[in-house]
Amino acid sequence: MRTTLDLPKDLVEEAMKATNIKTKTKVIVAALEQLIRKSKIDGIKDYKGQVDLDIDLHVLRGRKCRF
């Protein structure tokens, strides 16, 4: 999809240097992917402590409990 954007030149150049990505398009795509990934992770964090999994990690990992 073609879109015209007015982006700060120094910000785009800094992002390209920081990520070692050579093109503006690829650095913007990478930034959008990271933004979406972070948003999804934040959404998953909302479930912390709310999901009760009855899992015995020792059994799952094939270990024998020493206790």
Instruction: State residue 60's pLDDT score.
Output: 78
Q: Where are the chain's structural domains?
A: 9-60
Instruction: State residue 66's pLDDT score.
Output: 65
Residues of the chain predicted below pLDDT 50: none
Instruction: State residue 33's pLDDT score.
Output: 97
The C-alpha atoms of residue 16 and residue 36 are separated, in whole angstroms, by: 19
Instruction: State residue 65's pLDDT score.
Output: 64
Instruction: State residue 62's pLDDT score.
Output: 78
